[in-house]
């Protein structure tokens, strides 16, 4: 009965109702089209971001393939070159065993002393807690590091090793971060990403 009454009323007032009805239908169509376009735009952005991330990862791997071909001595020298590229001064390479964890030593542009431990490991390996403990024990006590950087060619640190690095302000640079460094990311932008290790600012040595 209510439906019949509604139909009769609409028929009797059609000249008034139809503009409103057309407006409502047009608004609904426009709203639906706008939502569909917005959804498609967001999907396109998401796909583009995923593609860029994959391309960046692939580019890092292409560069890291060259790093993987280095000997451990060449790797230490290469890390030293990256430090110099990013403005570090007085960069020296130990290049020998018994260096007490200081494979590369230098100074950042703001005067902080940088001590680097380099581990040339296969990509599938992980840096162990024992490796990290040795570096923790020497980086500051033996070498006076303001920034202590543990850089490796493998993909990860064990949970214990990473936890120790975070607690002791060691910068833990795994393969992906190293790949970004190799591709041009500045060292000082990478330092905060995995362990603080920032040390105190001071004037460069004379």
pLDDT of 201 reads 43
pLDDT band for position 101 (50/70/90)? confident
Contact at 8 Å (CB) between 59 and 66?
no
Average pLDDT, the chain: 82
User: What sign does the dihedral 198-200-204-206 (CA atoms) show?
Assistant: negative
Query: What pTM does this model have?
Result: 0.67
Contact at 8 Å (CB) between 148 and 135?
yes
**For 52-61, 92-101, 126-135, 177-186, which range has the lowest pLDDT when averaged over its residues?**
52-61
Task: Summarize pLDDT for 12-29 with one digit per residue, the tens.
Answer: 666 666 676 667 777 777
Around Cβ 3, how many Cβ atoms within 10 Å?
7
**For 21-30, 147-156, 177-186, 196-205, which range has the lowest pLDDT when averaged over its residues?**
196-205
**For 47-61, 72-86, 127-141, 161-175, which range has the lowest pLDDT when averaged over its residues?**
47-61
Asked if residue 153 has pLDDT above 80, the reply is: yes
pLDDT of 204 reads 42
Task: Summarize pLDDT for 38-86 with one digit per residue, the tens.
Answer: 777 777 787 777 767 665 665 555 688 899 999 999 999 999 999 999 9
Question: What is the average pLDDT across 3-18?
Answer: 62
Name, in order, each residue with C-beta under 8 angstroms of 151's C-beta and a sequence gap of 6 or more: 79, 116, 117, 118, 119, 173, 178
pLDDT of 21 reads 66
Strand partners, 115: 105, 148
- Give dist(CA 199, CA 146) in Å, integer: 4
Asked if residue 7 has pLDDT above 60, the reply is: no
pLDDT of 53 reads 65
pLDDT of 37 reads 75
């Amino acid at each position: 009965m209510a439906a019949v009454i509604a139909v009769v009323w609409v028929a009797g007032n059609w000249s008034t109702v139809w503009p409103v009805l057309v407006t409502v239908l047009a608004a609904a169509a426009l709203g639906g089209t706008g939502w569909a376009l917005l959804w498609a735009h967001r999907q396109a952005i998401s796909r583009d971001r995923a593609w860029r991330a994959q391309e960046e990862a692939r580019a890092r791997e292409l560069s890291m393939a060259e790093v993987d071909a280095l000997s451990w001595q060449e790797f230490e020298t290469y890390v030293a070159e990256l430090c110099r590229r990013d403005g570090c001064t007085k960069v020296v390479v130990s290049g020998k065993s018994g260096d007490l964890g200081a494979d590369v030593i230098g100074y950042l542009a703001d005067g902080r002393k940088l001590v680097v431990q380099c581990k040339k490991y296969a990509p599938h390996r992980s840096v162990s807690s024992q490796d990290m403990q040795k570096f923790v024990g020497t980086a500051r006590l033996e070498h006076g590091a303001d920034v202590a950087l543990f850089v490796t060619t493998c993909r990860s640190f064990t949970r214990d090793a990473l936890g120790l690095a975070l607690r002791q302000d060691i910068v833990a640079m795994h393969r992906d971060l190293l790949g970004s460094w190799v591709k041009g990311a500045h060292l000082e932008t990478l330092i905060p990403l995995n362990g603080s290790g920032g040390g105190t600012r001071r004037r460069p040595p004379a």
